[in-house]
Amino acid sequence: MSEAPAPLAIRLERCGKTFADGTRALEPLDLEIRAGETLVVLGPSGCGKTTALRIIAGLEEPDPGGRVLFDGTDVTPVPIERRRVGLVFQSYALFPNMDVRGNIAYGLRIGGLDKAGRDARVDEMLAMMRIESLADRRIDQLSGGQRQRVALARALAVRPRALLLDEPLTALDAKLRDTLRVEIDALLRRLGITSIYVTHDQAEAMALGDRIVVMDHGKVAQIGAPREIYFAPASRFVAEFIGSMNRLEGRVEAGRFVTAAGAIPWPGAPPGARHVLFRPESVRLADADSAQLAGTVSAAFFLGDRTRLFIECGGHPVIVETGERREFARDAPVHLAIDGNSLLLLKDSQ
Amino acid sequence: MARSNRLLLLLFLPAGIVFAAFFLVPLGQLFVIGGTGKEGWAAYGAILTNRNYFNSLVSTTLLSASVTGATLAISGVAGVFLTRNRFWGRVALVAMLTFPLAFPGVVIGFMVIMLAGRQGVIGDVAEWLTGEPLVFAYSMAGLFIGYVYFSIPRTILTVMAAAEKLDPKVEEAARSLGAGPLRVVRDVIVPGLKPALLSAGAICFATAMGAFGTAFTLATRINVLPVTIYGVFTEEANIAAAAALSFVLGVLTWAVLALARTAAGSTVAAAG
Amino acid sequence: MRRRGPAFWCLLGFTLCVCAFLIVPVGMSMLAGVTVNYQSGIGSGMTLRWVAQVWEGYSDTIFRSIGIALACLACTLLLGVPAAYALARRQGALARTIEELLVMPVAIPGLATAMALIVTYNTLGEFRTSWTFILTGHVLFTLPFMVRSVLAVMGAIDLKTLEEGAASLGAGFFRRIFTVVLPNCRSGILAGSLMVVTLSMGEFNMTWLLHTPLTKTLPVGLADAYASLRLEVGSAYTLVFFVMIVPLLIGIQVLARPVELGTKATRR
């Protein structure tokens, strides 16, 4: 990719979107996408993430007052066909009237590249996506995973200034999703291209994003690196949307958080806290004398490599994962130990 | 956004202009002319007040209703049978059953003559059996046969398309709960086909109400509405009355189709 | 499920009877068209005399019908395909209402439409007496079939996303239309075209009122022949009509899935 353009920096300024029927899909949004980074936009369906992507692509115009800047240049009135952004769709959007080669060459043909140049670039793309053997297939002869590889090759063939991916893996089955996720990750790192990746799958977001934007109801809930989002969620929505989260009620007393099921030592506990949150992996099963909480097993699911336990803890369900090989009977008493440092306190849960 | 809307409008414009100039405007004109006769706007009530027109309306409606019933029964049975069974020659059978799909009415009339006319098969068979030839092509019965003939192909296609989409698992579930074959038909298949039957029935009814070619070929004085209108137009040269009657007929068929569409909740394309 | 009970055979018998009802008269009329004397049966010998007589007396109606059908096809392509695209791209109540309106000429009896055209345009003498008057009626009646057929395909291929894909690769509007939209709607355009030609060739309801003695079409000639000539000639004429229309009907069956056709209507 020697002639690849320098990575693009994108900025959204007050980009809101209200549809003709009056629904507000996106509250005015300010967003900075750094040159060369992979930004994942994560959220449940209807949160405005796809609208944001479509505004960046040029498929939707922001409400008046909103601006889209590419490397500082205002591109708001520029239609998509002149923005040079690669777009990958959940439904692939491959042209059924062309074969694989024709699809990948389409953008190059429009760009006016001669036949030799096109052939060379198409071969390069086929090799990069490892689909050389599919070059002359019709689109309806391809599996979902193969289609998505072709769609990526087609978008990248024109050397776009940025790559926009809208739920590219959602239509695939779980195993294929994992494989392709690894491939896409390697590809984006290697190309160093600015990419915006929209998904509702938090595992995908964690694996791929340099930064993640969590969205909810048309608004940004949090922006940050995956670790920040996971370990320091800014709101209960973010905390519960990403991974599993346990929640206990109680009160702070002399450096401890006291609950109905026991007390957890918590140095530096804020005085007014009434709820704490913690991840399943920061709890472990313990002997009665070294434990802080007591409870009973309400359900146990053997997952092979671990067992996921639902434990009734003073009226609250607590999820615990354990590598222990024994079977857990319903209603069996268990004891839990929690690291006080891993307790989270949210502003909105005080 | 605004730009692309203008472009779409531009693309639609030619069709829109032709449609307005040659359909909407003439239809309005037809309506106006219908009110310019001797009776004035009362012409629109004539279909109920004029004995001759009213009889014609009643017999046309009865004919159309019985054609619809017979067609739905025949096509329903054959259509479900053809979707649920795979056997040698099935494709050819389907092809033959749907073959007369776009025959014009005049040709359908001729087919009826071939079947039940003076030299028709039915007449020959009847003569061979009873010594008396049976000829009914040139009566209401002939028209009935013709309309059923015309409606079967399209109705079978609609039924087959709908039966194809019925989930056989629902039938299996009903059988697992102890339902016998007749109960399955009554409780699962007929309700499942209801939208399709409704829309096909509406098309069938509206077509029979407005059809002209078949009656014209069978040529006798069969008192159905389109023939009556044609008579008023050509023989009595009462253009206003003919306009009023055909406008009412148009509204009637269109209303039947619109009603069926609302009831079936799916798109019912129409027929005349 | 392999076991076939008496119910299967009963239903098969029934279906075969229905099939015979539809096909026997077709076969008989074709046969009658080449029989010397139908009354005395096949034994009287086969002849092409009646076909020749039809050709002599009515060949002009055949060519006129073909001409009108092709002109009608050209009009519905030029008007219908762009209109279908506009309707496919515009969601919402207005587009659906327009779609409904466009179908009205099929919902309303041809007699009414023809009468409306006559009362509006009978003063335009030259237009009234030319074949284009018939063409106008045919275009109104067949346009919905073209629009719906193309719309059905456009709805099935997720046109919007395909176009967005093409646009993201730099294709402007006309480029998208000619490289992506039209090629992918080919099957709908073809199915619609066959339907338009078939329906135009067979249209009688409107044409009977719209035609003049100098602009008779094939179905008008058929009605003439049925009314005034002997059965063998009528049959021979019908045979000619079948020969012209059967390839089109087979084309429709092969091309458009019967499923799609079932929801569309034809009329006489």
Percent of chain B at pLDDT > 90 equals: 20
Cβ of C170 within 8 Å of Cβ of A79? The answer is no
A231 close to A74: Cβ distance less than 8 angstroms: no
What's the pLDDT band for C2 if we cut at 50, 70, 90?
A: low
From chain C residues 120-159, the ones with a CB under 8 A of any chain A CB are 157-158
In the block, which residue shows the tokens 């692309």?
B4
Summarised one tens digit per residue, pLDDT across range B42-98 is: 778 877 888 888 888 999 999 999 999 999 999 999 999 998 888 888 888 988 888
Distance CA C176, CA C169 (A): 10
Tell me if chain A has a CB within 8 Å of the CB of C95.
no
Distance CA A68, CA B177 (A): 61
Cβ of C258 within 8 Å of Cβ of B105? The answer is no
Cβ of C170 within 8 Å of Cβ of A84? The answer is yes
Cβ of B12 within 8 Å of Cβ of C28? The answer is no
Identify the pLDDT of residue A347: 62
Identify the pLDDT of residue C262: 36
Summarised one tens digit per residue, pLDDT across range B223-243 is: 888 888 888 888 888 888 888
Q: Is the pLDDT of residue C258 over 50?
A: no
Identify the pLDDT of residue A323: 86
Distance CA B102, CA C267 (A): 7
Selecting from B154, B212, B250 the residue whose C-beta is nearest the C-beta of C265 gives: B154
| SS3 assignment, position A10 | strand
A41 close to A62: Cβ distance less than 8 angstroms: no
- Name chain C contacts of A89, Cβ cutoff 8 Å: 161, 164-165
- Joined together, the tokens standing for residue B240 give 């206003």
- Joined together, the tokens standing for residue C5 give 């009970």
Cβ of A81 within 8 Å of Cβ of C168? The answer is yes
- Joined together, the tokens standing for residue C114 give 């023809």
Cβ of A82 within 8 Å of Cβ of C170? The answer is yes
Summarised one tens digit per residue, pLDDT across range B188-214 is: 888 889 888 998 899 899 889 988 888
Phi-psi region of A192 (alpha: psi -120 to 50; beta: other; left: phi over 0): left
Taking the CA of residue C172 and the nearest CA in chain A, the distance in Å comes to: 6
Average pLDDT, chain A: 90
Complete domains list, chain A, with CATH: 10-241 (3.40.50.300), 246-349 (2.40.50.140)
Identify the pLDDT of residue C74: 96
- Name chain C contacts of B18, Cβ cutoff 8 Å: 75, 79, 139-140, 143
Could you tell me whether strands A211-216 and A219-224 are parallel, antiparallel, or unpaired per DSSP bridges? Answer: antiparallel
* Type of residue at A313: C
C55 close to C63: Cβ distance less than 8 angstroms: no
Q: Is the pLDDT of residue B40 over 50?
A: yes
Helices (H) and strands (E) in chain A, counts: 8, 20
In the block, which residue shows the tokens 């069938």?
B204
> In degrees, to the nearest 5, what angle opens at C-alpha A160 toward C-alphas A154 and A166?
65
Summarised one tens digit per residue, pLDDT across range A69-84 is: 999 999 999 989 899 9
Q: Break chain B down into helix, strand, coil percent, rounded to 5.
A: 80, 0, 20
pTM for the full predicted model: 0.82
Between A12 and A257, the more confident residue is A12
* Type of residue at A254: A
Q: Where is average pLDDT lowest: A94-103, B168-177, C35-44, C51-60? A: C35-44
Distance CA A310, CA B111 (A): 76
Summarised one tens digit per residue, pLDDT across range C180-227 is: 999 999 888 998 998 899 899 989 989 988 888 888 899 998 888 888
In chain A, alpha helices (H) = 49-57, 100-110, 115-128, 144-157, 174-191, 202-208, 226-231, 236-241
Q: Break chain A down into helix, strand, coil percent, rounded to 5.
A: 30, 30, 40
Query: What phi and psi values does residue A6 have, to the nearest 5 degrees?
Result: -65, 145
Chain A residues within 8 A (CB-CB) of chain C?
A: 57, 59, 79-82, 84-87, 89, 91, 93-97, 106-107, 110-111, 154-155, 158, 164
Q: Is the pLDDT of residue C260 over 50?
A: no
Distance CA C201, CA B174 (A): 48
Summarised one tens digit per residue, pLDDT across range A128-162 is: 999 999 999 999 999 999 999 999 999 999 999 99
Summarised one tens digit per residue, pLDDT across range C12-48 is: 999 999 999 999 888 888 888 888 777 777 777 778 8
Query: What phi and psi values does residue A221 have, to the nearest 5 degrees?
Result: -90, -35
- Name chain B contacts of C102, Cβ cutoff 8 Å: 15, 19
Q: Which ipTM did the prediction report?
A: 0.84
Q: Where is average pLDDT lowest: A24-33, A110-119, B169-178, C132-141? A: B169-178
Burial B150-174 (b: 16+ CB within 10 A, else e): bbbbbbbbbbbbbbeebeeeebeeb
Which three-class secondary structure string do you get for A59-118?
CCCCCCCCEEEECCEECCCCCHHHCCEEEECCCCCCCCCCEHHHHHHHHHHHCCCCHHHH
Range A237-244, long-range pairs (CB < 8 A, 24+ positions):
A238/A214, A239/A277, A239/A344, A239/A346, A241/A42, A241/A43, A241/A44, A241/A202, A241/A214, A241/A216, A242/A42, A242/A202, A242/A205, A242/A206, A242/A214, A243/A202, A243/A279, A244/A279, A244/A280, A244/A319
C25 close to B109: Cβ distance less than 8 angstroms: no
- CA dihedral angle for residue B157, residue B161, residue B167, residue B172, rounded to 10 degrees: 10
Distance CA A195, CA A86 (A): 9
Q: Is the pLDDT of residue A34 over 80?
A: yes
A295 close to A261: Cβ distance less than 8 angstroms: yes
What's the pLDDT band for A101 if we cut at 50, 70, 90?
A: very high
Residues 6+ apart with CB under 8 A from A114: none
Cβ of B154 within 8 Å of Cβ of C266? The answer is yes
Q: Which of C28, C53, C42 is nearest to C242 (CA)?
A: C28
Q: Which of B208, B245, B268 is nearest to B61 (CA)?
A: B208
Helices (H) and strands (E) in chain B, counts: 14, 0
Between A87 and A255, the more confident residue is A87
Q: Which of B159, B146, B166 is nearest to B200 (CA)?
A: B159
Residues in chain B: 272
Summarised one tens digit per residue, pLDDT across range A192-244 is: 999 999 999 998 999 999 999 999 999 999 999 999 999 888 888 998 898 88
Cβ of C184 within 8 Å of Cβ of A87? The answer is no
- Joined together, the tokens standing for residue B81 give 């049978």
List C-alpha distances in Å: C52 to B127, C34, C155, C237: 33, 10, 48, 10
Taking the CA of residue B82 and the nearest CA in chain C, the distance in Å comes to: 8
Burial C27-47 (b: 16+ CB within 10 A, else e): ebbbbbbbbeebeeeeeeeee
The DSSP bridge partners found for residue A18 are: A24
Domain ranges of chain B: 35-267
Q: Which of A274, A265, A281 is nearest to A319 (CA)?
A: A281
Identify the pLDDT of residue A350: 42
Q: CATH topology for B35-267?
A: MetI-like fold (1.10.3720)
Residues 6+ apart with CB under 8 A from B115: B121, B122, B137, B145, C21, C24, C25
Taking the CA of residue C169 and the nearest CA in chain B, the distance in Å comes to: 18
Selecting from C22, C102, C203 the residue whose C-beta is nearest the C-beta of B100 gives: C22
List C-alpha distances in Å: C267 to B151, C79, C141, C195: 9, 22, 10, 12
Distance CA C93, CA B225 (A): 35
Summarised one tens digit per residue, pLDDT across range B128-150 is: 888 777 778 788 888 999 999 99
Summarised one tens digit per residue, pLDDT across range A253-263 is: 888 888 888 88
Identify the pLDDT of residue A10: 95
Taking the CA of residue C157 and the nearest CA in chain A, the distance in Å comes to: 9
Tell me if chain A has a CB within 8 Å of the CB of C43.
no
C8 close to B80: Cβ distance less than 8 angstroms: no
Taking the CA of residue C15 and the nearest CA in chain B, the distance in Å comes to: 5
Q: Is the pLDDT of residue A2 over 90?
A: no
What's the pLDDT band for C83 if we cut at 50, 70, 90?
A: very high
Distance CA C142, CA C154 (A): 19
What's the pLDDT band for A40 if we cut at 50, 70, 90?
A: very high
| SS3 assignment, position A296 | strand
Hey, how many other C-beta atoms are within 10 angstroms of the C-beta on B40?
Answer: 11
* Type of residue at B189: I
* Max mean pLDDT range (A186-190, B157-161, C77-81, C224-228): C77-81
**Residue of B17, B19, B218 to mutate, testing the C interface (most C Cβ within 10 Å of its Cβ):** B19
Q: Is the pLDDT of residue C265 over 70?
A: no
- Name chain B contacts of C110, Cβ cutoff 8 Å: 210, 212, 272
Taking the CA of residue B173 and the nearest CA in chain C, the distance in Å comes to: 16
Q: Which of C2, A33, A205, C202 is nearest to B103 (CA)?
A: C202
Could you tell me whether strands A307-313 and A262-265 are parallel, antiparallel, or unpaired per DSSP bridges? Answer: unpaired
Identify the pLDDT of residue A3: 61
Task: Dihedral sign for Cα B37, B42, B44, B49, please.
Answer: negative
Identify the pLDDT of residue A309: 92
Residue of C nearest to B13 (CA): C83
A205 close to A196: Cβ distance less than 8 angstroms: no
B249 close to C243: Cβ distance less than 8 angstroms: no
A43 close to A237: Cβ distance less than 8 angstroms: no
Q: Which of A14, A35, A51 is nearest to A198 (CA)?
A: A51
| SS3 assignment, position A28 | strand
